[in-house]
Structure 1
Amino acid sequence: MKAKKEITIYDIAKKLKYSPSTISRALNDHESISKNTTLLIKKVAKEMGYRPNSLAASLRNNKSKTIGIMISRINRPFVSSLISGIEETARKAGYNVIISQSNDKYENEVINAETLYNSRISGLIVSLSMETRKLEHLRRFMDQGIPIVFVDRVPDELDIHKVIIDNYTAGYKATQHLIEQGCSRIAHFAGAQHRNVYRERKKGYLDALKDHHLPVDNDLIVSFKSLSFGEGEKATRNLLDLPQPPDAIFSANDTAAVSAIMYAKKRGIKIPEELAVIGFNDDPIASIVEPALSTVIHPAIKMGQISAQRILQHAAEEDENNSPEVTVLPTELLIRDSSKKKA
């Protein structure tokens, strides 16, 4: 079907026999146009199917009232909650959002950055892909004064707005909980160590072992590319085949932790009596698996809200100094049956 012609202010002006400038001022509630005339013009514009050209306005003003979001995978519960917090805060302020996902690929992230830059966004919120190590694709935003807020997966080398959780303390407490349950051979499913979140969780794990005088066994530390379900199953199989298998697993995400529970049960391993497991993020799957997975609660919605607020503050020029601020949010352990060996 052939697309209908877009209605313009010139079409409305022709119908009402007003000048295009009068139509434009009325649609923008200019005080020089009477209230009755404004109401009439808006009524006719709506009946004719007129749509404001926000893109043209953004080209004139160099502002689109749109926040760009660059994330890894939209189908992950943490990410969808993060986006929800951003979108809710942006919408209340009259802003829209454009969401792009990299699927954890650096090349996709570079393409997404180019698209968002050309869309003249007012600000950018970024959670880096698993592969990203270079940041040249983001520097043009900074050079043009377009505010960027990094959330969750953030770069170490940039002095810029960041919203993160205390990954180190979360990793420490998760490991300490397993130790308190009587576990002494605790394995760790570690994510990519160039990403701050996984590096800090691992550091917390290592320090908890040392502080409780437990040896660090490198055979029990498994490095993952994406912490996927398949990787978790393979790692669990290898760990259980060791001459001295672990009696607990701390996984840097819930997906791999759930796969560990499911595979161990297939092998006849009792959870948590023979193998205690704790994950990270409190994804919906954590409460569905049997036994339910202990995990770390990740305040994703709040992280999104704060990230959007930082962008809006910059846009409103409320923060004149606009000095970089790092917001660190606390986490909470949620203990379920997968790790509860003691009453």
Structure 2
Amino acid sequence: MGNRFPTGGKRVTIGDVAALAGVSKGTVSKFLGDGDYYIAEETRARIAAAVAELDFQPNAIAQGLVRRRTQTVGVIVASIANPVYPEMIAGIQAVLEERGFTLIIGSSEGRPEREAGIVRSMRQRQVDGIVMASVTMRDGEVAALVGDGLDVVLASRNLARGDLVDAVVVDNVAGARAAVEHLAGHGHTRIAHVAGPQDVVPFTQRRQAYCDAVSDAGLDADPDLVTVAEASTLEAGADAVRRLLALPEPPTAVFVGSDGMAIGALEHCARAGVVVPRDLAVVGFDNIWVGRMPGISLTTVDSHARDVGTRAAHRLLSRIEARWEGRSSPPPRPAAAETTVLPAELVVRGTCGCASDVPLRALAPSS
């Protein structure tokens, strides 16, 4: 007997499944949902067979409206063009897919109004939570999202107040200090710093750690050796190093607040005839894949982007489950916010003046 429910050119509905299984649409809906409903095993088997025969694909949006969960998570990054974020997203996605969640990605390009628009759009789509790797919003704005029932975890970002929202970060202070101390170990005394935008907490932490390390080592603390970039891009890094090299007494080494800016600095040096590391030693921060390539061999601090993404995703899912388990509406936030700090690791390659790559060296966490 032919299939009385042809699927070609016609969308299969829950009514089709119910008719083939010989049950009500309500029973099929309960079978497809995640509620604790009793359905006889023989009935379950008939419904499952009908779903398979018809290749029925449940409407995820409709199911989400019923359950008040959509099995979707938003991820907001500062710039999808920055190689550090695809690595982080890969870590997030691996965790979410294993748990049956779908990922929605937004790129703010460092613009507060765009980030706010992305958050609004994700909330309209009723995401179950957001991993934010781009935070231009003020502390109070992020706290308001959490207070309004949205689970949020920050990845490679943190707020000035650590008790507002969960965060997973690398030890920016220990990493920055290690970069400066390594350059000082090569005999450099005029070590410059290209800082990222100072409305981003990790960049402010790296800048302060640089200043402290310079002071502690008795190095030249000339304020002209610190330049703040408006964005953490190749172009911003190139322009910052151009200004540093134009000083009456230019630096002999530079610690750059991100690998993206560091690659831009290397590009400028190549165009200007500045030989790295002979004329200028360079250390970055992030350990993006571009810096690992032969011919670039960037000494850097590993920000553990994939591990940060993995841990942030696990933390967000634990928040979601704790908030929703056994309930049809969200209860108050279940526990105090936590900040997970991963140890910094210095990756020594060629741009600092070392002859060859060496294995990663774990650093003591900052106090």
TM-score, length-normalised on structure 2? 0.83
Q: Could you tell me which amino acid in structure 2 is paired with residue 72 of structure 1?
A: A
Q: Which position in structure 1 is the counterpart of 2:342?
A: 329
Corresponding residue pairs, total: 338
Name the structure 2 match of 1:190. Answer: 195
Structure 1 stretches of 5 or more lacking a match?
A: none
Identity %: 28
1:1-343 pair list within 5 angstroms:
4-15=9-20, 17-27=22-32, 31-35=38-42, 37-129=43-135, 132-134=136-138, 138-139=142-143, 141-157=145-161, 159=163, 160-288=165-293, 290-317=295-322, 321-340=334-353
The Cα of 1:299 is off from its aligned counterpart by 1.0
Alpha-carbon spacing, 1:26–1:199, altered in 2? closer, same or farther (3 Å):
closer
The residue identity in structure 2 corresponding to 1:144 is D
Are the equivalent residues in 1 in contact too, given 2:298–2:350 (CA < 8 A)?
Answer: yes
Stretch deviating more after TM superposition (167-176 or 85-94):
85-94
Residue type of the alignment partner of 1:43: A
Preserved contact between residue 77 and residue 106 of structure 2 (Cα < 8 Å): yes
Give the drift of 1:143: 2.6
1:255, distance to aligned residue in structure 2 (A): 2.1
- Indicate how the Cα distance of structure 1 residues 41 and 256 shifts in structure 2: closer, same or farther if over 3 A, else same: same
Q: CA deviation at 1:249?
A: 1.0
The alpha carbon displacement at 1:223 in A equals: 0.9
Deviation at 1:113, TM superposition (A): 0.9
Q: How big is each residue's C-alpha offset from its partner over 1:66-124, in whole Å with a ceiling of 9 and x where there is no partner?
A: 22222212232221121121221222223232222212111111111112212222222
Query: 1:164·1:327 contact (CA, 8 Å) conserved in 2?
Result: yes
Judge conservation of contact 1:25–1:33 (CA < 8 Å) in 2: no
Higher mean C-alpha deviation, range 160-169 or range 44-53: 44-53
Question: How far off its partner does 1:338 sit?
Answer: 0.8
Q: The residue matched to 2:285 in structure 1 has which SS?
A: coil
Unaligned ranges ≥5, structure 2: 1-7, 326-332, 357-367
DSSP-derived class of the 2:301 partner: strand
- What RMSD over aligned residues (CA atoms) do the two structures have, in Å? 2.6
When residues 28 and 64 of structure 1 are mapped into structure 2, their CA distance, relative to the original with a 3 A threshold, is closer
